[in-house]
Every structure is written in C-alpha cells, then in structure tokens.
Amino acid sequence: MEEAGYAKLATGLIATWFVFALGAAALGVFENNANRIGVSVAIAASAPILIFALWAAASSGFRKFVMSLNPQILTLAQSWRIIGFIFLLLEARGALPAVFALPAGYGDMAIGMTATLVAWKMTQPVNRSSFILWQILGIMDLVTAVGLGTTAALWSPHGPSMALMTMLPLSLVPTFLVPLFLMLHLICIAQAWKWKAAPAGVGGLTYRAV
C-alpha cells in the first residue's frame, strides 16, 4: 500500500474511532458515578494505542507512512490541549476533584500554550534533544492525568467524583483525545530519534531526517 492509501485508511480509522467514542458515550457505556474512571473507559482508551503499536510493529509500510508525517503538524495538534482550562473551571465549581483537575488542567495548558513555539522552533535535528524532551513532558502530563483520574478516590475520598469525565462531552478526553495525543507524541519521538547530521554546509552543519 502506498502512503496515500495509508493516509486515507488512517483518516478513516480515526474518524471511526471518534464516532465510536461519541456513540458509546451517548449510550451511557462509559458512565460511572464512582470517584474513578471505570474499566470501560480504560478499554476504550487503551485499545487504539495497542492497535497502533501492533500495526506499526507488523507493517513496514505503515511505519514508513508514520515516519513520513510532518512533525510540525503533529506538534501543532497538541495546541488543542489549551482546553485544559476547562478542568480548572470545573474544579472551581466543585464538579471535579482538585487532585485531578489542577495537575491535568495546568499541565495540558502548559503543553497547549507551548506547542506552537515548539513546532516553529524545535522541529529541526539541531534541536533534537529539546524537541524530544518536550514530547516526553507532554506524555508525562497525560500519564499523570490518567493516573490521578483513576486513583482520585484514594487521594480525595470525600471530594467531587470523576463522573463528569465518563459523560459527554468530557468522556471524549480519555477515550479519544488522550490516546490520540499520546500517539502523536510517540510518533514525534520516533521521528526525532532518527534525525542525523548531514555534511557540513555554509555556516556550519546542516541536518536531515532519515
């Protein structure tokens, strides 16, 4: 399959994934009134990541397509995480536990606000270490948010529940946005890991991605 074919297939799968996450949430599949995110959300969030990993491991064509994606566009997509301010607003109204909302909200906002700068300034092999570090920080923010969301009852047993995160529209965050953003981070790290120095040019070293 050529890259154009993979692009169409990947776009179709992402659209199908979104429709599934939206439809399942509308049917109440993810709803959980306990102070935690339930098993159904965990399965919906982890399944796409597992499929992506297995597909990349099994198909050299898919790996080539993934590595050909523009790291600037992939990084700019993280700008959407500025919507993390919603967590802060909900925490202020007592609708989400602070132990989850504050780290997740501020972390997402930090990544979202710096994504444009990183895409503009750091998507060059000469800035590989800084670029990878930012991607790792983005992953750490997602992992921290998921970890605190699933253990909120332990840290804040008498606080607000995580129920809102299992209902529309916020259920789309753990079941669609978080795994998608995680995959984008992983792709960018894999790309940057292969950046290598090219022969010296005018004014010093030039670089290329391989």
Compute the distance between CA of residue 123 and CA of residue 129 in angstroms, rounded to an integer.
Answer: 10
* SS3 category, 73: helix
Q: Summarize pLDDT for 11-33 with one digit per residue, the tens.
A: 999 999 999 999 999 999 998 76
Report CA torsion sign: 65, 66, 72, 73. positive
pLDDT value, residue 150 = 87
Rg (CA), the chain: 19
| Range 61-79 average pLDDT | 96
Task: Please give the residue that has the higher pLDDT: either 62 or 152.
Answer: 62
Domain ranges for the chain: 3-209
Instruction: State pTM to two decimals.
Output: 0.90
pLDDT value, residue 201 = 45
| Range 135-161 average pLDDT | 91
Cα maximum dimension of the chain? 64
Helices and strands in the chain: count of H runs, count of E runs: 10, 2
pLDDT value, residue 170 = 96
Cβ burial 11-28 (10 Å sphere, 16+ → b, else e): eeeeeebeebbbebbeee
| Range 53-58 average pLDDT | 95
Would you place residue 158 in the very low, low, confident or very high pLDDT band (cuts 50, 70, 90)?
confident
pLDDT above 70 (res 75): yes
